[in-house]
A and B are shown apart, each in its own frame.
Chain A
Amino acid sequence: MSASSLSQHDNPSAQAVVPRAPRNLLILTVVTAVAVLVGLYLGLVWVHTDPDQGQVQRLFYVHMPSFFGAFAAFGAAVVGGIAYLRTRNPRWDALAVSGVEVGLALSLVNLLTGSVWARPIWNTWWTWDPRLTSAAIMCLTYAAYLMLRGAIENPDTRRRFSAVYAILAFSTVILTLIIIRIRPDTIHPVVVGASPQNAEGTFEATRSTAVALIPNLLIWTILVPWALMWWRVRLQAGIDWVAARKAAVMEREGN
């Protein structure tokens, strides 16, 4: 454990493990919560009901933005991984693990809302379509990142391996993003541009669709990952600090 990761705990026994949240984080959290509610109102109430798909089409206003939120969070994990390998500062590792956790949650939202939408529209919960398969591989790849972290005891080795893994794992995100453009056999619809010939479940994107979609994209891509990752980075500082104290106590007990 390097000194830099302990810097916010100069007098450990005199303060909480996870210090009080700074004012900016509290403001961001409140703004994010209100924005999510506004976004849900736009998607669930305000926008018109699709005449072909009915109410379930409204899941689109969470399904697509949650993927881009996962994209942003996994991207932050890449930044954290690269910066950690360059500086060996544990704070960058905290950013990486935060990005992976938040990204995994958002990609699960994306995958499962897609599955629920598919049941009435494709008449199945799941099909091994290229897009669905790549999204599932992406989720499993990042779940394995968390398992990898849990399996390595030495903190420096864990951070180094995790950083490399987080960088390489981003290839699954890129693949998931582009696969509907490069595999014409997918049945997954495309929102921007022409859908593949086999696409099922397309809908007409109107002006009100854009009015409901764009705020939700901004909320789920920027505010939600940012707020959640900030909280998680602070938690990681506490985790590292307690781990370092445990190691010190065990070393002392051993001597």
Chain B
Amino acid sequence: MPETADYLWLGMAVTLGIMGVLVASYVARARGLEKDAALLDELEKE
């Protein structure tokens, strides 16, 4: 049987990496929106 386990783990790392970046982008964008909204609140008070 060929020794190909390293490629399996590389493939899994790629999979988790891509899905992790997608989820992290959701979190980052949601936080960015909260900051934008807070800034807009201040501008509207002026």
A residues whose Cβ falls under 8 Å from a Cβ of B: 12-13, 16-18, 44, 49, 51-59, 62-63, 66, 101-102, 105, 108-109, 112-113, 116-117, 119-120, 228, 231-232, 235, 238-239, 242, 245-246, 249
Contact = CB atoms under 8 A, between A and B. Distances in A.
A151 B20 CA distance: 26
Given A102-B22, A109-B14, A113-B15, A54 B40 contact: no
A56 B44 contact: no
Interface string B1-42: 111110110111011001101110010011001101100110
A101 B37 contact: no
Interface residues of B, number: 28
B18 to A, nearest CB: 5
A242 B2 CA distance: 55
A242 B36 contact: yes
Interface of B: 1-5, 7-8, 10-12, 14-15, 18-19, 21-23, 26, 29-30, 33-34, 36-37, 40-41, 43-44
Nearest to B14: A112
Interface of A: prevailing SS: helix
